[in-house]
Amino acid sequence: MSRLSESVTSVMHILDGADLGADYTVSQLLDETTARRSLDLSDLSPQEQAALVEGRAINLIPSAAVLAEKIEAARSEGRQFVIKYGIDPTSPDVHLGHAVPIIIASRLQRMGHHVVFIIGDVTAKIGDPSGRSSERPALTDEDIARNLSTYQQQVTPFIDFERADLRFNGEWLNKVSLPQLVEILARVPVSMSLQREDFRTRLADGQGLSIAEFVYSVVMAMDSVAITADVELGGVDQLLNLQMCRKVMEISEQTPEVVITTPLIEGTDGTGSKMSKSKGNYVGLTATPDDVYGRLMSIPDHLTEPYLQLLTEWTDDEIRVVTKRLEDGTAHPMAVKRILAGEVVAALHGPHVAAAARAEFTARFSKRSFGDTQNLPVVSLKEHSEDTLGALISRTLDFAPSISAVRRVAQQKGLRFIREADGEQQTTQLTEASVQQALGAVVSEVGALDGAALYLKVGRKVARIEA
């Protein structure tokens, strides 16, 4: 029996009839599944490795069988089996959407293979045009340096950089001569780029399309050639780019890499849009444990199963047990969501921090009493009395990206003051007009504190107001 099979047997035993809402059960599960994130998977056969990867992939090109054959061949040759994952530093944040293929890379690393994590400091200047309706604004060297400064730190919970390489594609792309590039471009059919629906749509709509964008995938493919990649991972929106990598490796007389694409994880708002910083429906890897936990607790129930599949080390068999228990009513959706939230926090910060975030969430939302809640931000009424409520929320507390966003929260009846005394709460709904009022004036309308605790609730976020 493999080490993974032993772990799955232990988890299945826990899941069999246990109360999934009990802290003890959750603690047992987290201990086992968090340990699985560092579990040595090298005892799996090449076929088992390929099957495990295929189970979380949308595309595996050419096939799982070819992947297994390549793993076996690398073993026989006594060489490293090279896994490539690349990301362009077009923003400072890596979020859970990016983590989906990185988690697969982590598994491949634990199978004994060599991960090369490439930061596209050169390709970021072009900007990946995938799915874009207009050209991406050009980034300066300063923008790129600022964005990429924490990338390694952000993905370290998933990738062990003591056994992986972190590379910048400027190492080789800055040395490419014009004749080299022209030689490759001359052998790439234009039809490969024109397969892209986003390009065809932009051209049909009269939108701009630069030559740089047109050759982005060719330039990106030179990364695969530089490291002689055996496998490359990316979201399914990267499929055409990754197919170009195979083509350019073939042109360069290398064996084309195996392409593995993963699903695009749906954003936390459950509207069907992919997770994206621009849509505000994302969970950043640098978010606080409490924020990660709270954001995942806010997702619609229908996202729990795909999030378990894409963001955790749970197997399909384990997920099926939980799904069946939800269907027959022996598990509550909120309990399973708490397990999911704990899994992600544990992956980023460890199981003890996940347990603390669970307790914090319970105190803040389930018991509906804020007095026992730890780590709430505190606002001094004396210091901020003249600040408008909108400015306080968006700038001082950073609870919303803008004052307009605060207004939207108020429109959706998510902005309120809560006075708490002797375990009793009195809630005052705040209107959109109050967003422009000074904090002191709004508090006066609620009434003097008179020994009561006063809390400002903005959607799911809470701050304490002190005199």
SS (H, E, C) 348-380: HHCHHHHHHHHHHHHHHHHCCCCCCCCCCCEEE
- Same domain for 199 and 336, yes or no, is no
- Same domain for 202 and 299, yes or no, is no
pLDDT given at position 447: 67
- Same domain for 128 and 144, yes or no, is yes
Asked if the structure places residue 47 within a domain, the reply is no
- Same domain for 386 and 358, yes or no, is no
d(CA 303, CA 275): 12
- Same domain for 458 and 426, yes or no, is yes
Query: Half-sphere exposure of residue 94, counting CA atoms within 13 Å on the CB side?
Result: 23
Number of helices (H) and strands (E), helices first, in the chain? 24, 11
Which CATH number characterizes residue 331's domain? Answer: 1.10.240.10
Domain that holds residue 165: 57-262
Strands (E), 71-221: 82-87, 114-119, 165-168
Domain end marker among 313, 345, 366: 366
Asked if the structure places residue 372 within a domain, the reply is no
- Same domain for 234 and 290, yes or no, is no
- Same domain for 406 and 430, yes or no, is yes
Model confidence, pTM: 0.77
- Same domain for 115 and 227, yes or no, is yes
Q: Which residue has the tokens 């594609």?
A: 169
d(CA 430, CA 427): 9
Asked if the structure places residue 45 within a domain, the reply is no
The 8-class DSSP code of residue 396 comes to I
pLDDT given at position 133: 45
Domain end marker among 366, 388, 408: 366
Which CATH number characterizes residue 181's domain? Answer: 3.40.50.620
Strands (E), 290-443: 378-380, 415-421, 424-429
CA distances in angstroms from 457 to 176, 233, 410, 427, listed in the order given:
55, 41, 11, 10
Asked if the structure places residue 275 within a domain, the reply is yes
Asked if the structure places residue 42 within a domain, the reply is no
Q: Tens-digit pLDDT profile for the chain (467 aa)? A: 899 999 999 999 999 888 998 888 999 999 999 999 999 999 999 999 999 999 999 999 999 999 999 999 999 999 999 999 999 887 788 899 999 999 999 999 999 999 999 999 888 888 766 655 455 566 777 888 887 778 888 999 999 999 999 999 999 999 999 999 999 999 998 888 777 776 667 677 666 677 888 888 999 999 999 999 999 999 998 898 999 999 999 999 999 999 999 999 999 988 888 898 778 889 999 899 999 999 999 899 999 999 999 999 999 999 999 999 999 889 899 999 999 999 999 999 999 999 999 988 887 665 556 666 666 788 888 889 899 999 999 889 888 888 988 988 888 778 988 888 776 778 888 999 999 999 888 888 776 556 678 888 887 788 888 87
**Torsion over CA: 42, 48, 51, 55 (sign):** negative
- Same domain for 304 and 432, yes or no, is no
Instruction: Please answer whether residues 266 and 303 qualify as being in contact, where contact means their C-beta atoms are separated by less than 8 angstroms.
Output: yes
d(CA 338, CA 307): 12
Count the domains in the chain: 3
- Same domain for 358 and 400, yes or no, is no
Asked if the structure places residue 223 within a domain, the reply is yes
Domain end marker among 346, 366, 386: 366
pLDDT given at position 448: 58
3-class state of residue 442 by DSSP:
helix
